[in-house]
Structure 1
């Protein structure tokens, strides 16, 4: 054990005055520790409730989006089954055989299908897109620079983002060389 030096003439005087002690540093940023006692318990419970509310709001949003997606898929599946009926009605109209009461039924059916989101697509002059067009014939021409639909054999249909059927088209592309 080291004995303290005795004060006296032989003791060395201090070299420099000591700097005042440094101020305590702030704790690092991060999760705050709530104060102790009832105020701390209240703050902790409030944070828990806010977290639960945010989780519940996210859950409700996911459920809403999922319900819309399921509804759209169900509507698409039902309307897909009616595509041959729409084709037959369109052909009858082109032949002039859709008159009187049958014409009114066809118009009502088209209106209801449109209200459910059914959209026909495929028009002469559309750029050919293999994601939504099915080429049933291909021709070459010096008059076009890129492939275009020049005849719609059978229209395509979609509901929202769901492709029910691609359009069957004749494509005309640029001539070689």
Structure 2
């Protein structure tokens, strides 16, 4: 008996306990599959399919694209508003400049009236005063001043101030011009003071148009 027991292999014990009795920690057994997390188990259980792989980069790009389009639209709107503002400022600036010039020229209309009276009396036919009058008239004309209200022109109540009426008024034209009218660009600085009469029989507007008369004289 003793010899038989001695020949038997020694008895070994394998501790398969998952918890170490000495430390109380969970042992890792070689070859044992690690437990799945709760999210992985839930994905595997649902419909028996593997969990889908999310694409966070694609989802994050969509909000950035929308924000970029919104900022681009804001920038374009600001550029349009600024362009409109610049045009409005430029238009107002030009209007202010024209108004200032018209105001200065209006103060010189009395001087032009005096020169017209001197010219009518023959005082500007020669001499230094003629040169001054010509320079002043040329400068104002270059700035945009023009006169109107010549004898024989068609009567226009928006341009002419009639202080006397003669005839039946069927075809009114200007008779005596007591004071010339002046226009600065598109602005009427002063209405012409005139006497209104009927157009002579047989006369046509071309016969009494100063521009047509000047052309005929040149020919």
TM-based fold match above 0.5: yes
Other-structure match for 1:89: 115
Tell me which protein shows more strand as a share of its residues: 1
Structure-2-length-normalised TM-score: 0.59
2:142 & 2:167 partners in 1: Cα distance?
A: 39
The 5 Å alignment of 1:142-153 reads 145-153=170-178
Other-structure match for 2:205: none
TM-superposed deviation, 1:146 = 2.0
2:64 & 2:127 partners in 1: Cα distance?
A: 80
The 5 Å alignment of 1:1-177 reads 36-98=62-124, 99-140=126-167, 145-173=170-198
1:153 & 1:100 partners in 2: Cα distance?
A: 26
Confirm or deny: 8 A CA contact 1:73 1:162 kept in the other structure. no
1:97 & 1:173 partners in 2: Cα distance?
A: 33
Confirm or deny: 8 A CA contact 1:126 1:148 kept in the other structure. yes
Q: Which is higher, the Rg of structure 1 or of structure 2?
A: 2
TM-superposed deviation, 1:173 = 4.1
**Tell me, which stretches of 5 or more residues in structure 2 are unaligned?**
1-60, 200-219
**Tell me, which stretches of 5 or more residues in structure 1 are unaligned?**
1-34
Aligned pair count? 138
TM-superposed deviation, 1:124 = 2.0
1:146 & 1:135 partners in 2: Cα distance?
A: 14
1:80 & 1:123 partners in 2: Cα distance?
A: 20
TM-superposed deviation, 1:125 = 2.2
Tell me which protein shows more helix as a share of its residues: 2
Structure-1-length-normalised TM-score: 0.72
1:36 & 1:119 partners in 2: Cα distance?
A: 66
